[in-house]
């Protein structure tokens, strides 16, 4: 069972991906990890990718697709895989589908975790970290005993630049721009299911199981 998982920052995508990995015993394939290991292994694609990255360029779709193609034919993918962070564009999605087609595989499900922006802003912009020991807190979900200070070492809590409200809104906009057309693309193929990511983690896990247990999209046998 081959799955693509979409979800904005703060949607719990990482948590749910891990759940799918454990529950269905399929690996999570991230393009970043693949690039790093190809470079490390000095494979032909890795050498090409390293040259491009060292010169500050972006690795081409061809290289990434080559890596995906090598990766999904490894033994641990025989029961399926979850793609993480790929595809990001419609041309990439097109190429991915024909690549998989060529090796007798297909995408079975595309799951999109959906959470209201207002909730994502609360989730992300409420994060605080101790400036000294690095312990994490959250203004809504994991408050420090003394406001603004670390429970463990009593030093000042700070907000990461990435989590400031304005940056969060910007990150969410980038996500929306990047994925809205991709989601319609997969919807048109009958592969997309949107899961509300606002409930409890176990609730969302159950919804995901129901979708994935229902077999390949399109073949309701």
Is 23 one of the annotated active-site residues of the chain?
Answer: no
Task: Copy the structure tokens of residue 94.
Answer: 């097109």
The least distance separating Zn ion from the CB of residue 214, rounded to whole angstroms, comes to 46
In sequence order, what are the residues at sequence separation of 6 or more whose Cβ sits closer than 8 angstroms to the Cβ of residue 148? 156, 157
> Between residues 135 and 183, which has the closer beta carbon with respect to Zn ion?
135
Q: Is 160 a catalytic residue?
A: yes
Q: In the 8-state DSSP scheme, what is residue 145? A: S
> Using the rule CB under 5 A, is 152 a contact of Zn ion?
yes
Within 8 A by CB and 6+ apart from 218, the residues are: 190, 191
Angle between helices 90-102 and 165-188 (to 10 degrees): 50
71 is catalytic: no
Exactly one of 5, 72, 124, 130 binds Zn ion (CB under 5 A); that residue is 130
Report if residue 156 touches Zn ion, rule: CB under 5 A: no
Q: Which of 13, 71, 123, 128 is catalytic?
A: 13
Which residue among 150, 168, 191, 208 contacts Zn ion (CB under 5 A)? 150
CA-based end-to-end distance of the chain: 15
Cα separations in angstroms, 147 against 35, 96, 121, 132, 134: 42, 49, 20, 16, 16
The one catalytic residue in 105, 106, 171, 183 is: 171
Q: Does 79 bind Zn ion (CB under 5 A)?
A: no
Shorter beta-carbon distance to Zn ion: residue 79 or 154:
154
Task: Report the C-alpha gap between 136 and 160 in whole angstroms.
Answer: 11
* Distance of closest approach, residue 192 Cβ to Zn ion, in angstroms: 43
Residues forming the active site: 13, 88, 127, 160, 171
The residue ranges that bind Zn ion (CB under 5 A) are 130, 132-133, 135, 150, 152-153
């Amino acid at each position: 069972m081959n799955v693509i998982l979409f979800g904005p920052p703060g949607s719990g995508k990482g948590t749910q991906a891990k759940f799918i990995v454990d529950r269905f015993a399929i690996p999570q394939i991230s393009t970043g990890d693949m690039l790093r290991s190809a470079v490390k292994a000095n494979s032909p694609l890795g050498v090409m990718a390293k040259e491009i990255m060292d010169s500050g360029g972006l690795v081409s779709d061809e290289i990434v697709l080559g890596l995906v193609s090598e990766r999904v034919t490894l033994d641990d993918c025989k029961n399926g895989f979850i793609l993480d962070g790929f595809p990001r564009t419609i041309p990439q999605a097109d190429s991915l589908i024909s690549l998989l087609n060529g090796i007798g595989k297909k995408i079975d499900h595309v799951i999109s975790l959906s959470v209201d922006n207002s909730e994502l802003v609360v989730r992300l912009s409420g994060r605080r970290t101790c400036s000294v020991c690095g312990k994490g807190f959250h203004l809504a979900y994991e408050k420090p005993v003394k406001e603004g200070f670390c429970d463990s070492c009593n030093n000042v809590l700070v907000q990461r630049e990435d989590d400031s409200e304005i940056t969060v809104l910007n990150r969410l906009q980038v996500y929306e721009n990047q994925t809205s057309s991709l989601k319609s693309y997969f919807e048109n193929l009958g592969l997309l299911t949107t899961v509300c990511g606002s409930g409890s983690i176990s609730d969302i896990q159950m919804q995901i199981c129901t979708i994935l247990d229902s077999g390949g999209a399109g073949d309701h046998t």
